[in-house]
Amino acid sequence: MTRVHKVAGALAVAALGVTLAACGGGSEGDGDAAASDVLRVGTEGTYSPFTFHDPESNDLTGYDVEVITAVADELGLEVEFFETQWDAIFAGLEADRFDVIANQVTINPEREELYDLSSPYTVSTGVAVVPTGSAIASEADLSGLTSAQSSTSNWAEVAREAGADVEAVEGFTQAVTLLKQGRVDVTLNDNLAVLDYLTTSGDTDVEVAFEVGEPSEQAFALRKDSPLTAEIDGALETLRDNGTLAEISERWFGEDVSS
C-alpha cells in the first residue's frame, strides 16, 4: 500500500502499557535510529484495525501501531509516527522521511528486491467484498469487472491478475463507498481488515463473497541494507518468544495471527 506525506502531530499512542508521544515534524536525517534514539515510522492512520485513529480519543492506535511500538520499546527507542497515504508511503521511505513502514506490507518478490523486509508479524488471507446478494462467487468471476483498490497495493495486483480493471482509491473505506454506490463491482482486501469493518460498522449492504489468493505474510519495510533490519528482526523474535506478539494479536483479533 502507499500515500501524500502528512506528519502526525503530537499524537498520544498507548501500547502495551507504555504511552508514547507521536510528535509531528521530524528531521530528515541519515536514518540512524539508534543514534537519535527515535524510530521514525511511516503509517497510514486510516486502515483499521491496523493503523487508525480512535474515534473517541483521536489517538493513533491499531495492531501495527502496537507491534512497532513494542519493537521500538524492546530496542530502547522512542517512536515518531508519520501519517502518509498508502500510494506514497514507499516514496517517503526512499526519501528518508522515515526509517520503517508499519502498515501491513505484504511480502512479495518485487518488494523483496527493492526493500528490506522484516520477518513477518501477520499471516492472513485475502477476501472479495461485494454488494450483498451479488452473483459474484469466485475469482473466475472477476474477469472484466471493476475492482476498487489502492493502485500500488498487493490486492490491486491480485485483481489485475484475475482480469479485473482497477479503479484507484485511497483506501478500503473509499472502496466500500464506491461499491455501495454501484460504481465498482468488487474490492479485495485483507480478511482481518474486512472482518473488523463488518463487525464495527454493522454494514449489511456488503458481504464477503470468497477468499482470494494464497495466505500472505506481512512485514515491516525498510530501505535496502538498512542496519535496522537485523535489530527489528531480533526484537520481533524476542516478542514472539515471550508471548507479546500473541498477546497483542489476541487483543485485536481474538486469536494469534502473528504466525
CATH number at residue 136: 3.40.190.10
Same domain, 30 and 157: no
Same domain, 25 and 116: yes
Is the residue at 258 inside a domain?
Answer: no
pLDDT of residue 214: 84
Distance CA 105, CA 98 (A): 15
Same domain, 20 and 116: yes
pLDDT of residue 12: 34
Report the sign of the C-alpha dihedral through residues 193, 1, 112, 245, in that order: negative
Is the residue at 135 inside a domain?
Answer: yes
CA dihedral 219, 13, 35, 241 (to 10 degrees): -50
Which of 224, 253, 251, 221 has its CA nearest to residue 42? 221
Same domain, 172 and 132: yes
Same domain, 67 and 116: yes
Same domain, 35 and 77: yes
Same domain, 74 and 174: no
Is the residue at 32 inside a domain?
Answer: yes
Convert 135-200 into a string of H (helix), E (strand) and C (coil): CCCCHHHHCCCEEEECCCCHHHHHHHHCCCEEEECCCHHHHHHHHHCCCCCEEEEEHHHHHHHHHH
Same domain, 148 and 191: yes
Same domain, 130 and 185: yes
Same domain, 137 and 206: yes
pLDDT of residue 32: 55
pLDDT of residue 83: 98
Same domain, 9 and 132: no
pLDDT of residue 17: 34
Domain that holds residue 177: 123-215
pLDDT of residue 34: 53
- The number of domains in the chain is 2
> Which residue reads 531480533 in cell numbers?
234
Same domain, 109 and 99: yes
Q: Which residues pair with 129 in a beta bridge?
A: 187, 208
What does pTM read for this prediction? Answer: 0.74
CB 205 within 8 A of CB 95: no
pLDDT of residue 171: 87
pLDDT of residue 16: 34
Is the residue at 259 inside a domain?
Answer: no
Rounded average pLDDT per 10-residue block, the chain, 259 residues = 36 35 38 74 95 96 98 98 96 98 95 98 95 96 97 91 96 95 97 90 95 92 98 98 96 90
Which of 94, 81, 73 has its CA nearest to residue 11? 81
